[in-house]
Each structure stands twice: as C-alpha cells, then as structure tokens.
Amino acid sequence: MPSPNRAVGLVGIGLVGTALAERLLRAGYAVVGYDIDACRRSALVELGGEVVEAPRDVAERTSRVVLSLFDGDAVRLVVEGVDGLVSAAQPPSHIIDTTTGSPDETRRLAGSLDTRGIRLIDATISGSSAQLREDRAVLMVGGEEDAVAACGDLLRVMSSTVRHVGPPGSGAKAKLATNVLVGLNRAALAEALAFAESVGLDLASFLDLARVTPGYSAAMDIKGDRMVAGDFAPDSRVRQHRKDLRLILDAARDAGQGMPLTETHAGLLDALIDAGDGDLDNAAIIRALRRLRR
C-alpha cells in the first residue's frame, strides 16, 4: 500500500478530473476520489483509483485534495457544505483547486481556510483535458510560496509546465486572461474557416495554407482539423467556456475594462447553447458562424 503522502484526494471526476487521475495514478499516487455522478465514480475505479461516499471521506483519507469542479459554487459546497472537506475530523492540510472561478471568491476562500490551518492553492489549467493528458497543458498557480512548495510534487505530476504567478487568486486571474486569448483565437479561426467555405475554398487545403501564414495560432493545430471534420466530441465543452466568459466579463466590468470582442464571443456561445450544442466541444463554435450565413 502506498505511504500516506502518496495518497491524494480528488473531488470532481469529469473530463479534466479524469485526466488528472490518470496522471497521478501513473506517477504512483493512490487516488481517493468522489463525484456526485456514480458513472464517474465507477470510471475512477476502472482506472485503479478508490471512491468514497462524500468529500468529507476524501479528507479523512488524504491530507492533500485536488478539486476539479464546474464553478465556484461547487467549490464552496465541496469545501464548506454538509459533508464537505472541512467537516472531516481531520481536514486536509492543502487543497489544490483547478476549477476556473472568480479570483475574488478564491482569495476570500483562501483567507477563510487559512484561519483553520488549511492552505488553498488555485492551480488553474490552460488547456483541454486532451492537452492535459498529453502533457501539453500549463498549470498557473496562485498561493503562498510555502504552500506551493509543499505541493510541488503533485503540481509537477499534473503538468510539466508549472508557473507560480502570485498569491491566492492569481491562478484564477491568469486563467481568465489566458482564456480571453484561447477563446478569441478559436473564434477567429472558426470565422475564417466559415468565410473560406462560403466563398468556395476547400477547407482542409485552406487550413493547411493558414498554418504557414502570419495569421497562424495554436488553435489551428488544436481545433482546426476538428472544425473541418465536424468532430465535436468534447475535450472541453461550450457550456464550460461560456461560464468562463461570464467570469471574465464580470471581472472586466469591476475593473472598468471594456471587452467588445469577448462580448461578441459570448453571444456566439449563447447561440450555440440555445441551439442545443452546449455540451459539444468548443470547436463547435464554427456551427454558430455557419448559421449566420444567409
């Protein structure tokens, strides 16, 4: 049996959580996990992990817990709700939160947990579950230096590219800022492909051409072929990114920063969700552009 410091808690076993579990298990950690979805719990068992009945039970078994949840509301429920992590007889010493949430809420939660002797690290991920699995994602870490050092072994397993960007809440800020770039690059690619298609160009040939022009972006390699092929099985979901855009626009409004391109991008994702495409991969944004064709 692995020693106690080789046991890691994981709450949230969705696309990203599953990829994290795979990496941790492959590195020799015992993963003790929980998810509200029974199918996801079964998937962790199939990978070689162990499941328990509540977040509190995860904390009882592990001193360091990784969160991979939909939003800040889910984080608060898992951490502070009934049967939450802090309700355990022995709460975890460190919580590593990969969830994309509000920087202000993350900072407030870190302060609250600190009074209980629990250190929160917001370790947000730039990249999809597929990129995480292939070690092409970037971990952007907010937290106090001693807390980050205490979890350095886990962070390096989660990604070989780790950047400590500041105190608690900084990882959330960096994730929102990078998601502006990621989302708009993806939207620009979809618009270019929709335009090329509308004027009669062969899409596959045009994508190959675009890759050697000054307009190149990594979005072409990550999502381009999927847009051309119509492959929208999710590595990252439209609905999830729309949630991120809400956080971005809220933060921008508080900072007094106009975001006209992101406002337009949000409208395109709203149209996708209204059309029933919210659970598709973000490459499906090309559908929203095609629907604007008259």
pLDDT tens-place string over residues 246-272? 999 999 999 999 999 999 999 999 999
Give the number of other Cβ atoms within 10 Å of residue 144's Cβ: 17
> To the nearest whole percent, how much of the chain has pLDDT over 70?
98
Partner residues linked to 163 by β-bridges? 140
Give the number of other Cβ atoms within 10 Å of residue 205's Cβ: 11
Backbone dihedral region for residue 169 (phi beyond 0: left; psi -120 to 50: alpha; all else: beta): left
* Statement to judge: residues 137 and 217 lie in one domain: no
Q: Please give the torsion angle defined by the CA atoms of residues 185, 186, 191 and 195, in that order, rounded to the nearest 10 degrees.
A: 100
Report pTM. Answer: 0.91
Structure confidence at residue 2 as a pLDDT band (50, 70, 90): very low
pLDDT at 249: 98
* Statement to judge: residues 115 and 47 lie in one domain: yes
Identify the CATH number of the domain in which residue 280 sits.
1.10.1040.10
* Statement to judge: residues 181 and 261 lie in one domain: yes
Number of domains in the chain: 2
* Statement to judge: residues 77 and 110 lie in one domain: yes
Residue 234 is part of which domain span? 174-290
* Rounded distance between C-alpha atoms, residue 200 and residue 136, angstroms: 34
* Statement to judge: residues 205 and 112 lie in one domain: no
* Statement to judge: residues 138 and 210 lie in one domain: no
* Statement to judge: residues 186 and 260 lie in one domain: yes
* Domain final position from 112, 135, 167: 167
Q: What is the mean pLDDT of the segment spanning 94-116? A: 97
User: Does residue 5 surpass a pLDDT of 80?
Assistant: no
pLDDT tens digits, one per residue of 48-97? 999 999 999 999 999 999 999 999 999 999 999 999 999 999 999 999 99
User: Does residue 1 surpass a pLDDT of 70?
Assistant: no
User: Does residue 239 surpass a pLDDT of 70?
Assistant: yes
Answer whether 17's CB lies under 8 Å from 7's CB. no
Which of the pair, 274 or 1, is modelled with greater confidence? 274
Helix (H, G, I), strand (E, B) or coil at 1: coil
* Domain final position from 127, 152, 167: 167
> What radius of gyration do the chain's Cα atoms show?
20
* Domain final position from 124, 142, 167: 167
Q: Is the dihedral of CA 41, 45, 49, 54 positive or negative?
A: positive
pLDDT tens digits, one per residue of 150-207? 999 999 999 999 999 999 999 999 999 999 999 999 999 999 999 999 999 999 999 9
Identify the CATH number of the domain in which residue 80 sits.
3.40.50.720
* Statement to judge: residues 185 and 45 lie in one domain: no
* Statement to judge: residues 179 and 161 lie in one domain: no
Answer whether 130's CB lies under 8 Å from 68's CB. no
* Statement to judge: residues 157 and 181 lie in one domain: no
* Statement to judge: residues 150 and 185 lie in one domain: no
* Statement to judge: residues 14 and 85 lie in one domain: yes
The rounded mean pLDDT for the chain is 96
Structure confidence at residue 4 as a pLDDT band (50, 70, 90): very low
